[in-house]
Chain A
Amino acid sequence: MQVVAEVCDVPVTEVTLNSAIGDFPAWDSMGQLAILQRMESEFDIMFEPEDMMEIEDVNDIVKAVEAKLEC
């Protein structure tokens, strides 16, 4: 949530697990890429296009990161 808040330039209190693409002005395609790149570098993981396409909200980000860390 912290990463989404930083990229979208909104208070972290406004970000929930259900926050989704388009909920904040800066969460557009550029924002989505920035969020995913930050997750990749912070968790030292690499998303495949198939993973990225499924990510629509914060919940999906958490699940995708967890799945990568389990691999």
Chain B
Amino acid sequence: MLTIEQQIERNAQRMTEKVALICKDTEVSYGELWERCCEEAKRLQEDASFYKGKRVILAAAGNAEFVYQYFGTHLAGGICVPIDPDTKEGRRDYIQSVVNEDFRFKIEDLDGIADIMFTTGTTGAPKGVVLTHENIAASARNINAYIGNDADDIELLALPVSHSFGLGRLRCVLSKGGTIVLLGTFANVKRFFAALDEYHVTGFGMVPASWAYLKMMSRDKIRNYADQLKYIEIGSSFMSIEDKKMLMEWLPSTRMCMHYGLTEASRSAFMEFHEYAENLSSIGKAAPNVDIRIIDGEICVKGEHVTKSYWNESPERIAQDFHGDYFRTGDSGWMDEDGHIYIKGRIKEMINVGGEKVSPMEVEDVLNAIPQIKESACCAMPDKVMGEVVEAFIVEKEPITDAEIMEIIKPQLENYKWPKKIQRIAEIPKTSSGKIQRLQLKVNS
């Protein structure tokens, strides 16, 4: 299997003048893209502090410079650590200290590593998911096979490229020889629709919160593009059946492919809304070249796209995340006789804010450090746009206002982690072993 970079090089040879990237009215051909990536690789190799396997933290802004740096780092033999440019200092320092440590386990494995993607760990500390060149190439192959991407695609990328979904879209389109229009965000809806018109966009990726936002801001304007949009990839969080049916009605000939996956096992299952009209509540079936089994009630995934390790976690610890060759997703589910998979719930306690995963413990740690707060607990609160937002429950030692709490929290946590509601309670419900009963909190709220 060719690496993503080898596929881009092949595209640069076969279609040198074809537009690969469009960013703020600047068009970059495949020939230029390859040249700029090679220049970036050379620049790194000439840097005395660079070595093969060096971890390079990249502020993943959705611009052309990031694209050159990302593929250039791979070409030079470096390992990319893409992070959100707006990552708070505490998290950035933590990531920097973790990746700067030497890899403690099986040093030969460093050879094939392409990326370390930091995700929200269940304990609150970010976890570095190690993805090899084989993992990311296999993932792009699987996704392109399901969606049907080809060199004629012109895709609008408004997702963050610091995350698996957005970065994956970039790799999928460039490996096929399509064109990527880098928009960066859905926030400016006027610009989103203007770009659909101007560049004759044929597809894009979005999270359900993006759709809720687009719908709120533009009603059914997307219907005007029913004949233009060949595909939309959707993922990262739950989408209601009503929204799926609405999209099916408004875009009757667009392939709307909803994925199920994790950074550790990107896009493990797919369902196309029109094809799965009778099974819209399922997450579909295993993606091409992927095998999914339900083991002890948990959805488990096997395939070349699945990570083999986390950065600097021991093989014994990592083994706990697998049942043999099958990666444990942390989601409980079941499979019907036709292979449709259904999610029952999350085994891991995460709050999904428009696709951004938030560990309740990370927010609780910040709240608990406030002198006026005795203890706290956070859980998910339904939200009509974001799907879920953070709701905090606090036990006060001394009176403190919401505004005072937010003033302390805001500099320490990214904005999607800020509680949207703070409730004061007499006691945090806990099990006999001292574990917070978040379900009980949700019931009481």
Contacts and interface: CB of A to CB of B under 8 A. Distances in A.
Interface of A: 9, 20-22, 25-33, 49-50, 52-56
Interface in B191-224: 191, 193, 209-210, 213, 216-219, 221
A52 B415 contact: no
A39 to B, nearest CB: 14
Given A30-B354, A30-B415, A33-B213, A53 B189 contact: yes
Considering the complex of A and B, which 10 residue pairs feature the smallest CB-CB distances, nearest first? A25-B86, A29-B187, A26-B415, A21-B188, A21-B187, A29-B213, A49-B219, A53-B189, A28-B187, A9-B410
Given A9-B410, A26-B415, A30-B415, A52 B187 contact: no
Given A27-B187, A29-B185, 16 more contacts: A9-B415, A20-B188, A21-B188, A22-B188, A29-B186, A29-B209, A29-B210, A30-B385, A31-B187, A33-B216, A49-B218, A49-B219, A52-B216, A53-B193, A53-B218, A55-B190
Contacts of A53: 189-190, 193, 217-218, 221
B217 A52 contact: yes
A20 B193 CA distance: 17
B288 interface: no
B441 interface: no
A25 B189 contact: no
A22 B217 contact: no
B416 interface: yes
B184 interface: yes
Nearest to A47: B217
Contacts of B185: 21-22, 28-29
Given A21-B187, A49-B219, A33 B415 contact: no
Given A30-B354, A30-B386, A52-B216, A25 B415 contact: yes
A18 B411 CA distance: 25
B208 to A, nearest CB: 12
B187 A54 contact: no
Nearest to A54: B190
A53 B213 CA distance: 10
A22 B187 contact: yes
B218 A33 contact: no
Interface of B: 86, 184-191, 193, 209-210, 213, 216-219, 221, 354, 385-386, 410-411, 414-416
Nearest to B209: A29
Contacts of B210: 29
26 contacts: A9-B411, A9-B415, A21-B187, A21-B188, A22-B185, A22-B187, A25-B86, A26-B415, A28-B187, A28-B415, A29-B185, A29-B213, A29-B385, A30-B386, A31-B415, A32-B187, A33-B213, A49-B217, A49-B219, A50-B219, A52-B216, A52-B217, A53-B193, A53-B217, A53-B218, A56-B191
A22 B184 contact: yes
Nearest to B356: A30
Contacts of A49: 216-219
Nearest to A57: B188
A33 B385 contact: yes
A54 B194 CA distance: 11
Contacts of B191: 56
A50 B386 CA distance: 21
A56 B190 contact: yes
A35 B187 CA distance: 12
A49 B184 CA distance: 22
A42 B188 CA distance: 23
A50 B190 CA distance: 10
A12 B261 CA distance: 41
Contacts of B219: 49-50
Contacts of B416: 30
A61 B133 CA distance: 46
B418 to A, nearest CB: 9
Contacts of A30: 354, 385-386, 415-416
Nearest to A25: B86
A52 B217 CA distance: 6
A50 B186 CA distance: 16
Contacts of A22: 184-185, 187-188
Nearest to A49: B219
A52 B218 CA distance: 8
A52 B189 CA distance: 9
Nearest to A48: B219
Contacts of B216: 33, 49, 52
A28 B415 CA distance: 10
Contacts of A28: 185, 187, 415
Contacts of B189: 52-53
A30 B187 CA distance: 8
Nearest to A8: B415
